[in-house]
Each structure stands twice: as C-alpha cells, then as structure tokens.
Amino acid sequence: MDHKVTVVGAGHVGATTVQRIAEAELADVAMVDVLADMAKGKALDMMESAPVVGFNSRIEGGGDYDATAGSDVCVVTAGLARKPGMSRDDLLAKNQAIVGGVVEELVKRSPETILIIVTNPLDAMCEVARRVSGFPRERIFGMAGVLDAARMRYFIAAELAVSVEDVDAFVLGGHGDTMVPLPRYATVNGVPLPDLLAADRIEAINERTRKGGGEIVGLLKEGSAYYAPSAAVVDMVAAILRDKKKILPCAVYLQGEYGLRDLFVGVPAKLGRRGVEEVVELELDAGEREALERSADAVKELVEALPS
Ligand code: TXD
C-alpha cells in the first residue's frame, strides 16, 4: 500500500478501525497495544480474513513501536473506556498518563505524522498529546464531531423516514454533555431541518445526540460504542490520505476562531493531506454562540485540571 497508518489500542474502537482501514485498502496498518499478544492475535485473525474479504492491506500487530515508524497518520485509542455511570471526565488522570506515553513513542518514530486522538476525555487528551508532541495544530486533532454528527444524522433520518445519505448535520463544541448540535445547519437534501420538523421534535433529537454515547454505554453494560466511532475515525483518515479537502467537525486547537484561543474545541475543519488545512467559521446566532462558549468553558475546566 502507498500509505501507512498506526492505530494504538487494539480494543473495541482501535481494532474495528483497523479492520475498516484494511477492508477499504486505505493503507497498511500497525496496531499496537500494551497487551502485545492480543494485538498480534487480532492482526493475524484479520489477515486471515483477507483472502475471503479480498483486501491487500498488511496488518502488523504487537507491542513494539518500531513497527509504527514512518506512519502517515497515527490514531490514538489507547486508554480506558467509560463504564456505566462513569463520566468521561472521571477518565482524565488515568488516560492522561496513557496518552502522554503513547504519543511520546509515536512521534519519536514518525516525526511528520498526523495524530488523531480518540481517547476520552477527548478535548483534554488532545491537549495532552499537543503538549507532548509539540506538533502544530494542523497535525494534531481529535475525533468526536464526526461521531456526534453521525448520531444526529441518523436520528433525523429515522424521525423523517428518509435516507441517511440525504441528511447532513453539524455538532460543535466539546465532546461531552455540553456539545452543541446545530439544527439550523442540518439539512435534508438541502432543505433546512427547521422547515421539516417541529421545534420540540428537533430539541428531542438534540438531546438524544448530546446523550448518544451514554445511551450506548447503558445498553452495552460493559465498554462503550465502537462501530460508529471507528467509522468516524476512518472518514477522517480517508479524507487525509486521499487529500479530499472534506469539511468535517474535528476537535481543533483554536487560535481566535469563534472567539476562542489555545483550546481544543469541536469545529468544522477542512481535512486534506496536510491535516487540518482550514478552520471553517460558521455564523452563529446568540444562543448558539452562548452554548459554544459554555462548552468551551467545560473543556477549559478539564484542561486546567490536568497536572502540567
Ligand atoms: O468520540 C470519541 N472520541 C470516542 C472516544 C468514542 C468512543 C470511544 N472513546 C474513547 O476511546 C473511550 O472512552 C476510550 O477512552 C477510548 C478507547 O475505547 P475502546 O472502546 O476501544 O476501549 P477498549 O476496548 O478498552 O480499548 C482500549 C485499549 C485496550 O486494548 C488496552 O489494552 C489499550 O487500549 N491500552 C493501551 N495500549 C497501548 N498503550 C497503553 N499504555 C495502553 N493502555 C491501555
């Protein structure tokens, strides 16, 4: 393959991401986990599916970071997942140590890579990775908005009984209960959502979107969502490797956009071969702006809780 992607964490999100990348023949993949044999076993199992599924990507699994050298993109999913009743924020300290250590190993071997952070609490883990890597914001950002928007798109499509392919939506802000669904910018085949659905139904969709992660956690009992999260990661990886210039909501280190500075917050970003090539500033009304500021405050609080 022309490209190489590393995925750290061979758990639910990581392994499913690797499977999706390989099956789409986007790149060869190195899959690393502290549980080295588990990563090796999953990689071998996936390679044994290749003759049947018909893909030529190579997958190498294990615990050794040398296999990650020269990666175009590195995806960090290593960490602990939420358990029922546990907030994303409870994960802060534990995952800070894990993500910091992982990023250090990755950037040593792939100094030019693009880092996509997935581990929760997402926005704070992006900051941990930024500090450790010293990367410019073009090459370090987080996955959350594509997932949150995908959930919103699905809920809209189900409510209106239309194809998911016809539905677009944006969700801004931090990846937590304060995220900001933007129904004004949601469309069904170009028609704005508020023209199609009553305000109380829209608010119900917003609320279900905000609580989308928790809904899955509550049902699974153990672990958290991974099919939609891995699909969202692969959307971003494909946009980068194929230089699509696709506009996707990502957690980006803002430098004055949306009136926010030195903070990772979910905003629409143009993804291409250089990573985040542009931050797209949507016009927000007073209520949306206030919600985004509240969400940014929640991220700031978490980041300030990080021991430096
Ligand atoms: O929208 C989003 N950003 C998210 C985030 C959507 C879904 C999941 N989200 C978060 O991703 C979740 O809250 C977790 O923090 C991560 C990974 O979730 P996943 O469901 O994949 O968790 P698993 O199955 O427990 O997998 C984590 C793996 C597991 O195999 C551990 O052995 C490994 O991480 N792990 C490590 N690998 C390498 N190095 C270190 N230090 C390490 N520590 C744990």
Domain 4-142 CATH superfamily = NAD(P)-binding Rossmann-like Domain (3.40.50.720)
pLDDT of residue 80: 87
CATH code given to domain 145-304: 3.90.110.10
Alpha-carbon distance of 223 to 228, in angstroms, equals 14
Summarised one tens digit per residue, pLDDT across range 90-110 is 778 889 999 999 999 999 999
Sheet arrangement for strand 187-188: 167-168, 187-188, 191-192
Summarised one tens digit per residue, pLDDT across range 230-265 is 999 999 999 999 999 999 999 999 999 999 999 999
From 31, 37, 77, 125, mutation site for ligand 1 pocket: most ligand atoms within 8 A of C-beta: 77
Q: How far is the CA of 123 from the centre of ligand 1 (A)?
A: 15
Q: Between the CA of residue 228 and those of 65, 122, 146, 213, 301, what are the distances in Å?
A: 27, 16, 9, 10, 28
From 13, 116, 237, mutation site for ligand 1 pocket: most ligand atoms within 8 A of C-beta: 13
- Both tokens of residue 65? 């970071």
175 annotated active-site: yes
Who's near 136: CB < 8 A, 6+ residues apart?
A: none
Ligand 1 neighbour 148 (Cβ under 6 A) = no
Alpha-carbon distance of 170 to 164, in angstroms, equals 14
3-state secondary structure of 57: coil
The yes-or-no answer to whether 4-142 and 145-304 have a common fold is no
Summarised one tens digit per residue, pLDDT across range 207-239 is 999 999 999 999 998 889 999 999 999 999 999
pLDDT of residue 139: 98
Question: Which residue, judged by its Cα, is nearest atom 4 of ligand 1?
Answer: 118
User: Could you state, in order of their start, the residue ranges of all structural domains in the chain?
Assistant: 4-142, 145-304
Ligand 1 neighbour 10 (Cβ under 6 A) = yes
